Amino acid sequence: MKNNHHLKNSLYFGSEKDIMTPEEAEKQSGIKSIEIQYRWAHQKTHPFCDVFEKLVSHPTLTSIKVEDFKLSSQTLATDIRFLELLSSVKSLTYLNISVASEVPESEPLLDILARLTQLQNLNIKLTSRFEYFPTFVNQLENLGILEIEINHSLPVSQDLFLPLQQLNFFNLKIWEYPDPALVTQVISNLMQLPNLQQCEVSSIHHSPLNPAKAIAFPEDTGGLPKAINLEQIIFQNLNLRQLPTALIHCKKLEVLKVEDNSIVALPGYLPQVEHLTLNGNKTIDLDQILSCLNPATLQSLNIGSCAVTQLPARIGDFRVLQNIYLGRTALQKIPVELVFLDKLTGFHVNMPQSEVKDGAPLISLLKYVRQDTYSEEEKKRIVAVFCMNEDYLNDVSGSELIPLLNVKIPAVVRNTLIVLEKKITNPFEHSQVLSLGGICLFGTVDGISTKELKEKCRKHNIQLESTLTEKATHILIGKGITEEQVQLVLQSKLPLVTGTQLKSYLEKLDTPFLKESDENTQTNLTRLLISVEPANVQLALEMINQGGLPESILYILVLVVLQKELDSKVKKKAMTVLEKYASAEIVAVVKCIRMKTDYLKIIRLLWKSPEVDKTLLARTILQFHFEEYYSICSKEHQDMIQSETILKDCLYQLFITSPEDADFAVQSQTKNTILNWSWLPLDKLTSSKASLDKVEGLKIQISDFVKKKKPLKSFTGLKALYLAKSNASLQEQAKANLEKLQQDLPQLQVIFDE
């Protein structure tokens, strides 16, 4: 509060603007509170005690806060005078003072403050050089609230808080106790204060908790605690592993707040606790904790930042619970027993992927079910569906869920349909609806209008009606179903179907069946397409026209369309099918090059087209090398695969694509017992996983053979080896390899081809 020499009921001394003279201080009236930065005021206001003397004379003054007060040997007289003036304020009820000392045995100096007999609220921070508890506190008979931040050298003894035993009912707050190992002694001492109503022991050091070093209380040595009037306890950031068993004797305890510790369980039955906070205790035993609480009294539960994945079912017994906080937990399941908590108005959680979200939608749902005339079982089903509690829903039948489709909460209806998907047997998996009479639709289906759905059904000879007739063979249930329709569904014996099941079936009918066909089907389709019999090709084209064109057969169809000797009617049909399924770019390429007279030239032009997938085209051409295709294909196709240029392009394309494609390329060349590899890299053979045991004759360059240390071990059936481009020098270098190879293959004959 800035003064500026104006009359104020609150004064602040901490900046240049706040300086005033004793004369100005005397003119002030109605002063209720003063806040002083003592060191600053002492240096800047001369003489400050003269100013302060005028201010404390005001009978309306009830509150003083003093920061940075230090008993110094250099200014001791002034400091003691300040304390004398402070203690003269008979109307003072609130004092907040931060005290340091450079003077040995300075504690008695604070006894001056014992004159503040009207003091009700004292907040005192003791820092350096204080070694004893301030005894003046014992004489403040009206003191009700005491907050102490203890100095780092204050020792712990059994009579540490003895001066407080004679006080009337009061609150005690202790901050920054230095030695964690002494915390249990401090708390044990507090439990011996008979008039203590509220206590707080906290550390302001927020260091990471170490469960391995958590603090435990020693075994009770007998006797009852004296602090039986405790109503509120706060233990914060003390790394406590357990609470004192003496708490079970505190029959008036209503608020228990144990934050950022290592508590696992409660020490026993605490029937009067109304508000429990265990925020930040990572590994709590929630079931044990709830068993120690009284369902008739607990009003709030805070277990945020704890390793909680689910709430026990017993939470439903706490009928007066108003607020549950589960922030920063890994909660995965919401118990249906929450429907019994009629007074619950706050549920705080972080489940963004579910309907529960931050908890507010769940509170709205509970409010809705309380206002309606649902039975307890119906309420639990609604909550279970909303929260997707699968453990509970596993024991609920589909017929018990049907009425939930009439609930006025979209999320409940949406989730009910999801659950019914799993419980209703999909009739389209084993029966042909095309042969059935019709489907009765109750409600609407997500993602499609009823008109559009009827048109799709009619396209596949399925009658979709909005009323239940004798022709109906199934009932389709959707959103927005009426109460009357719910009853019709429950009374009918017709099988049910969901909108998702029907839409999936219709999409399947609209999807070309050959697109998802297996390898055998595609192999048979390829054999029909490359056949020299026009009727076979015509049959394959009809199948593709109706069932779609698999990607692996695209270039088979292209090669068929480009044949010069193909029947003109069949070629025209093939072009029509290609235009239907192939991209516009591929169709344009085919139309551009098909007028050429030479088939091999057409294929080379096709290969050079940038729109072509060369890897897929190469695999397609090399397929003709396999016996099941080579023996039935046309002469044009046979000439194509015998072209060294085309073959070389295809092989090299697959060699650089992937190891799998390279293996396919090698395998395509092993149909002949004599394999000419003299113009291809030998390492593609030796590193391939293709089966080479049927190759009896192999022709390679002798220079490649000389370079290989372990040549041709995979050719187990090899009988003849032709070494091309041979000369005397290379023959001499090859002998070592040949000797070793002939040891593995004794039947092998070697022929040098110059």
Average pLDDT of span 595-614 = 90
Higher-confidence residue of 627 and 365: namely 365
Alpha helices in 240-301, H assignment, sequence order: 286-291
Helical segments of 424-463, H only: 450-459
> Which residues touch 181 (CB under 8 Å, ≥6 apart)?
215
Structure confidence by residue, pLDDT tens digits, 28-66: 989 999 999 998 888 887 688 999 999 999 999 999 999
Flag whether pLDDT at 745 surpasses 60: yes
pLDDT of residue 128: 65
Question: Who's near 253: CB < 8 A, 6+ residues apart?
Answer: 230, 231, 232, 233, 247, 270, 272, 273
User: What pLDDT does residue 207 have?
Assistant: 47
* Cα 233 from Cα 258, distance rounded (Å): 8
Q: Is the per-residue pLDDT at 605 higher than 70?
A: yes
CB 694 within 8 A of CB 667: no
Q: Work out the average pLDDT over 212-226.
A: 62
CB 293 within 8 A of CB 270: yes
Task: Check residue 434 and give its pLDDT.
Answer: 45
* Weakest-pLDDT range from 212-221, 524-533, 651-660: 212-221
Tens digit of each residue's pLDDT (9 = 90 or more) over 579-604 = 988 999 999 999 999 888 788 999 99
**Across 294-319, average pLDDT:** 96
Mapped onto helix, strand or coil, the DSSP state of residue 366 is helix
Q: Kindly report the backbone phi and psi dihedral angles of residue 528, in degrees, each rounded to the nearest multiple of 5, phi listed first.
A: -70, -40
Lowest mean per-residue pLDDT among 90-94, 254-258, 705-709 = 705-709
Closest CA to 613 of 644, 582, 634, 570: 582
Checking if the pLDDT of 325 tops 90, the result is yes
- 1 band by pLDDT with thresholds 50, 70 and 90: very low
Distance between CA 725 and CA 701 in Å, rounded? Answer: 6
274 pLDDT tier (thresholds 50, 70, 90): very high
The whole-number average pLDDT for the span 80-97 is: 94
Over 80: is that where the pLDDT of 146 sits?
Answer: yes
CB count in 10 Å sphere of residue 141: 11
Phi, psi of 730 (to 5 degrees): -70, -35
- pLDDT confidence band for 211 (50 / 70 / 90): low
Distance CA 378, CA 381 (A): 5
Alpha-carbon torsion (426, 429, 433, 437), positive or negative: negative
Q: State the Cα–Cα distance between residues 753 and 726, nearest whole angstrom.
A: 6
Average pLDDT in the 254-278 region?
96
pTM of the entire structure? Answer: 0.67
Is the pLDDT reported for residue 196 higher than 50? Answer: yes
Comparing 372 with 466, the larger pLDDT belongs to 466
How much is the average pLDDT of 484-507? 91
Confidence of residue 711 (pLDDT cuts 50, 70, 90): low
What is the tens place of the pLDDT at every residue in 441-488? 999 999 999 999 999 888 777 889 999 988 898 999 999 999 999 999
Burial of 700 (0-12, 13-18, 19+ CB in 10 A): buried
Give the Å distances, CA to CA, from 602 to 565, 589, 736.
13, 10, 47
Higher-confidence residue of 80 and 151: namely 80
Judged against a pLDDT cut of 50, whether residue 221 lies above it is answered with: no
Q: What are phi and psi of 443, to 5 degrees?
A: 90, -160
Per-residue pLDDT at 59: 92
pLDDT surpassing 60 at residue 7: no
Q: Across residues 538-553, what is the average pLDDT?
A: 89
> Exposed, middle or buried by CB within 10 Å (0-12, 13-18, 19+), for 401?
buried
Helix (H) or strand (E) segment spanning residue 125: strand 121-126
Task: Quickly state the pLDDT bin for 668 (edges 50, 70, 90).
Answer: confident
Cβ neighbors of 123 (< 8 A, separation 6 or more) are 95, 96, 97, 145, 146, 147, 173
Cβ contacts of 50 within 8 Å, gap of 6 or more: 22
Predicted confidence band of residue 433 (pLDDT cuts 50, 70, 90): very low
- pLDDT per residue as tens digits for the range 398-427: 999 999 999 999 999 999 999 999 999 888
Contact 171, 193 (CB under 8 A): no
| Predicted local confidence at residue 461, as pLDDT | 79
Query: Distance from first CA to last CA of the chain, Å, rounded?
Result: 109
Closest CA to 677 of 627, 635, 640, 715: 715
Q: Print the SS3 string covering 212-253.
A: HHCECCCCCCCCCCCCCCCCEEEEECCCECCCCHHHHHCCCC
Q: Look at residues 631, 638, 650, 629 and name the one whose alpha carbon lies nearest to residue 526.
A: 629
Check residue 689 and give its pLDDT: 83
Instruction: Say how far apart CA 218 and CA 184 lie, in whole Å.
Output: 8
Mean pLDDT across 654-669: 89
What would the DSSP string read from start to end of 526-570? Answer: HHHHT-S-HHHHHHHHHHHHHH---GGGHHHHHHHHT-SSS-HHH
Q: Which residues, listed in sequence order, are joined to residue 99 by a DSSP beta bridge?
A: 69, 126
